[in-house]
Amino acid sequence: MFIRNYLPQSISSALWGNRKRWGLTINQSDMCWQEWQRTYSKFYTENQRQGIGTRVNDSGYNVMNKIDLTGKRVLEIGAGDIRHTDYWQGMPSEYILADISPEMLNKAKLRLKEKEVPYRSFLLKRSGVLPVDDASIDVVVSFYSLEHLYPLEPYLTEISRVLCSGGVLIGAIPAEGGLAWGLGRAITSRRWFKKNTTIDPDKIICWEHPNFADDVIIDLEHQFERINVTYWPLRAPLLDINLIIRFIYKKKLIHES
């Protein structure tokens, strides 16, 4: 069980959003959501690429040390600025970028150009199939994106479809829904929202992070074969005392009768 199940709504909303009121499906016409679209880049820079935000994000990226990318075809879902290139082992033969943000795609492209890695890219929709051939990808990379994709299961089905036999899914998610993550948000990004915007954070949290980490892991276990799952900063596999969950999963074999 999780601490969130025992807290009153007033506290739960401040830590993980008011899900009972706002639900998990984005209201595109909502004024808070529209302001969020205009301020996202500034938020990302000031909260995720400075101070403790950088340390937390980097703790997930080091899982890339565990696989060899040499000669592999790689697809990244929610590429962002692909800061994890510092942790690569070997160079892929092709890197495919997928993100909902054109600005983030441009940042990722610049980094791949610097490393002279062949790449292509496409804008990722919040619903829909991946424009990638069946069984054509060796490695799917996903850092801090699975918590955003709702409903998640269709995306995981697509990831399984594009992975070749023996292909792996590697990445990390925030320990969303856990006490440590909720408290961290309350003293960092929630304060940023209150200071810099008119956005109701209790609303945007629900729509930006609809998937709790424990639900993401359940869906991953259903679709893939676990290779390695680790927690940070504490090694105990407990959601409430950690901030990041790193994972490596393998495509399940299909046994023909």
β-pair partners for 95: 74, 119
> Per-residue pLDDT for 162 more than 60?
yes
Closest CA to 130 of 99, 164, 175, 90: 99
Chain centroid to Cα 87, Å, comes to: 17
CATH class of the region 27-251: alpha beta
> Per-residue pLDDT for 34 more than 60?
yes
Instruction: Look at residue 175 and give its three-state secondary structure.
Output: coil
Domain range annotation of the chain: 27-251
Q: How far apart are CA 211 and CA 149, in angstroms?
A: 8
Where does the chain have alpha helices with state H?
A: 9-16, 19-22, 31-48, 51-61, 102-115, 153-162, 179-187, 189-196, 201-208, 213-223
| Stated pTM of the model | 0.94
Q: What is the mean pLDDT of residues 30-45?
A: 92
Average pLDDT, the chain: 93
> Per-residue pLDDT for 134 more than 60?
yes
Q: What is the mean pLDDT of residues 156-167?
A: 96
